[in-house]
Chain A
């Protein structure tokens, strides 16, 4: 775990420092004069200790990060940690809502498909979810935005952001409504692709369980088919779905870059993309570090979940 983490930070550091254009910095607005470039360079040097040899830079960064200091952004002149705190909630909320929707639709869908396997519903459902999965997210976003948020066609939804531009006169409930209204299109876009995998997994899990001895036993006991399915098979088949959730957690933080860009939502993905093009290294390093730590933790979590869920799996 720890060596992996160190390897990760090392690779991360190397890649980040490999990026060209560090010494010029990225202008957001246009071509910069030499003076402005010089200034940017000074600022970079100061924040990232670029004047020191690379190994020292790495160690200093590692040391700072260990002490919870992720540095200060170059574009925003703000602490990276504060920026993350500001941007993360939107992204997390958006992804959580969409995973919730995916779970709530995919699990019943998968169950139904497994009961009616081989019938029209099974084939249709798998085709439908596969089609949804195949939809290019950019296109869906563009189309939803273009048709449903454009007063020229169907202007039901707001075009960008997470809340109206002036919210100070809204009551609590109005604000909630406004927030949800803003979330409809992004969450729809984000959710569509998720059904295929989960419902397939659910279907497979049920079919796996159906072949097991305990089902035969239950049937032999004379339990009705309904009871067998609902009480035994469904319940057992839910376990893998829960363990899968651990694998989804890392993407809660960064899984919506494209959606955030399309709908102009100021979340983590947007933060990282703009920081990358502007060579705002403290942000890139900070966010990457946090997300790799989370990824690692979740990998571990997934393993533990598997072990808990299935006692047959044991490690070493």
Chain B
């Protein structure tokens, strides 16, 4: 795990710690700090490509059930489906929508969030468009408010879905049903399949002898040890990578920033003790800790997200503390103190937002690091539980290349990890340069 340490530490040491001096960049009174940063960031083609790639991953995450699934969007069965009592259902039900019925809670939650993201982006674009046309620009505050409402609605909807929806277990083998001349069961009369007819856990029948097949027309990227389609798993893997990367980093960020903020605000004894604790935590053998936690809680997906998050907060804590130590001296904090504002308010309303700005940079690096962590955990045999499709697990499934080298199993997932990690790192670099333009501006 320490392979990914250097750059993460670099954030702390590096010169990016300087407070963004947005005022220097102001070319017009209406340009806010973020507008400047955004413009500087978007100017570079590299950053644009990386951002599009991450956008692509997000889109994939949301839409993958409709792209790669064994169930057809819609189908008509030769025999009408039976109800629980064994009587045929009315004709109205004869057209089935298996793919939609099979959508899981996670699928629905991602759909909700996908819609939320699209909504926010459209609102943002409209705002930008209005500005460009020289029209009345809606204030940033209102846009933020609207976005917050959308996020809130999406969050509430996700919670509702998580509590209320039960996942449907589809016992049917659609490959066989669609196959002409297949025997005993009701066949499909007509069906509309997704572009890729394989789900991530969907296996070729064992007797068909399609384990470990090299790429062919049937399976563009070959099949793995269970006769599953590698391409389908690759697409589904995007979701796992995004979830692990984001959720773990959010956890790390939450712990690290609060901890760092407290230390940075209270200097002195609290800080001293707190820093010792950080040192202690950093010196604990990470690997043993990981294996222990996994042994206690199992290899469930959310456990892994929490683990990766919980073990990754120290860097952020150090970073935020350093920021706070600097901000403490700022006038507005002194003013807030003089006004007799409560500690909570000073810390979280005034200091934290300012201290967090550079943390966004380390957030993107952190996401990249988490993706790598996940692959390392899978490699050590403590990654996500099967049959979840994660790129790290797929890489591990490729087996020991020293024994039998199955390049098609390792090549694609490795490439995807690389591209995604690279994209996040470029975004991090790009943001750092944009937020702290000092380096580029020299001379």
Contacts and interface: CB of A to CB of B under 8 A. Distances in A.
Q: Do A and B bind each other?
A: yes
Interface in A97-139: 117-118, 123, 126-127, 130-131, 133-139
Most buried by A among B1, B10, B280, B296: B280
A138 B396 CA distance: 9
A15 B288 contact: yes
B3 A11 contact: no
Nearest to B372: A136
Contact of B9 (A207, A247, A257, A292): A247
B442 A210 contact: yes
A261 B401 CA distance: 12
Interface string B294-311: 011000000000000000
A11 B10 contact: no
Given A21-B295, A142-B398, A276-B287, A137 B410 contact: no
Interface in A239-297: 240, 244, 247, 251, 254-255, 257-258, 261, 264, 272-273, 276-277, 284, 287-288, 291-292, 295-296
Contacts of A136: 372, 375, 395, 414, 417-418, 421
B276 interface: yes
A213 to B, nearest CB: 15
B277 interface: yes
B171 interface: no
Interface residues of A, number: 72
Contact of A126 (B296, B368, B429, B443): B429
A3 B276 contact: yes
B401 A145 contact: yes
A132 B372 CA distance: 13
Contacts of A197: 6-7, 9-10
Contact of A296 (B279, B418, B439): B279
Chain B's interface size range is: 35 or more
Contacts of A233: none
Contacts of B375: 136, 138-139
B417 A8 contact: no
A190 B2 CA distance: 11
A152 interface: yes
A160 B295 CA distance: 29
Interface in B238-284: 276-277, 279-284
Interface of B: 1-7, 9-10, 13-15, 46, 276-277, 279-285, 287-289, 291-292, 295-296, 368, 372, 375-376, 379-380, 392, 395-396, 398, 401-402, 405, 407, 410-411, 413-415, 417-418, 421-422, 425-426, 429, 439-440, 442-443
- 9 smallest beta-carbon distances between A and B, as pairs: A139-B414, A146-B401, A146-B405, A292-B283, A197-B6, A134-B422, A288-B285, A134-B421, A19-B292
17 contacts: A19-B296, A127-B46, A130-B422, A133-B425, A135-B418, A136-B417, A143-B401, A150-B405, A193-B3, A197-B7, A198-B6, A257-B287, A258-B379, A273-B287, A276-B287, A277-B291, A288-B288
